[in-house]
Amino acid sequence: MPTETTAPDRLTLAGREYSSRLLVGTGKYKDMAETARAIEASGAEIVTVAVRRTNLGQTPGEPNILDILPPERYTILPNTAGCYDVETAVRTCRLARELLDGHNLVKLEVLGDEKTLFPDVIATLKAAEELVKDGFQVMVYTNDDPIVARQLEEIGCIAVMPLAAPIGSGLGIRNPLNIRTIVENAHVPILVDAGVGTASDAAVAMELGCDGVLMNTAIAAARDPILMASAMRKGIEAGREAYLAGRMAPKRFASASSPMEGLFFQP
């Protein structure tokens, strides 16, 4: 994607390199076939699976999500969706490790309530600490709080995943300045997780300097999920390239002497 002389632009997570910066979930599709086609169209190489809602082998005889996610092609990212306390979240990760033969990479989320699905950052920090000690490589869903993001990094999480907006809302990035501050302070990858609604939202996340975006509803709940998966793939690539290309500075007018700074208000 970049110009010929530059090295390929890769996302590195847990020592592995990925070409795609779009991570997707498997929920809310019509059926397994649609799930598979949407994931294919998204170009994603990392697929997150809600351990408490999806059959990873816990229920023998039922369709297993792994059947459509061959491990040589996809990195499975078990997640703790639906967990509202430290203990359940930790136990869910351990179950996933068992089902996946020692797989250590997990996405932790500990939610604060069933209505808003906002993370409980206190419980999240505790669960992250336990999981890191137990040898997990923890990617962690959190609010867009720059101090909490730094604390999660200090605990040893390998990636921090602030929300754009509430899970399943499709509202896009509510507070770009916070996401930007998190990115500027980080020494681990920052991926926006939750709240993206359309392709331009994904592009904005990447233009802010994020390393990737994880989404599910924005694809699965589109009228045409397969086409939206392709749109998201391109939106992520567009935003990443724009970030690397270094955008022009916004000005009020084309003339050199019209910077926005002169204004007493922000547009």
Q: Does residue 82 touch a copy of itself according to CB under 8 A?
A: no
Q: Does residue 253 touch a copy of itself according to CB under 8 A?
A: yes
Q: On the CB side of 58, how many CA atoms lie within 13 Å of its CA?
A: 12
Q: Known binder of ligand: residue 205?
A: no
Q: Does residue 151 touch a copy of itself according to CB under 8 A?
A: yes
Helix intervals (H) in 63-194: 86-99, 121-133, 146-155, 176-185
Q: Does residue 180 touch a copy of itself according to CB under 8 A?
A: yes
Q: Does residue 162 touch a copy of itself according to CB under 8 A?
A: no
Among 20, 58, 64, 178, binds a copy of itself (CB under 8 A): 178
- Minimum Å gap between C-beta 73 and a copy of itself is 22
Residue 192, SS3? strand
Q: Known binder of ligand: residue 82?
A: no
Is 107 labeled as catalytic in the residue annotation? yes
Q: Does residue 212 touch a copy of itself according to CB under 8 A?
A: no
Contact region with a copy of itself (CB under 8 A), list: 51-59, 71-79, 97-105, 246-254? 246-254
Q: Does residue 248 touch a copy of itself according to CB under 8 A?
A: yes
Q: Name the residue with tokens 């926006």.
A: 192
Contacts of 210 by beta carbon, 8 Å cutoff, 6+ apart: 179, 183, 190, 191, 192
Site string for a copy of itself, 112-141 (x = CB under 8 A): xx-xxxxxxxx--x----------------
Q: Name the residue with tokens 């169209």.
A: 41
Contacts of 152 by beta carbon, 8 Å cutoff, 6+ apart: 124, 125, 128, 140, 142, 160
- Minimum Å gap between C-beta 70 and a copy of itself is 23
With CA atoms as reference, report the closest residue to 191 among 177, 203, 176, 206.
206
Which residues define the annotated binding site? 168, 194-195, 216-217
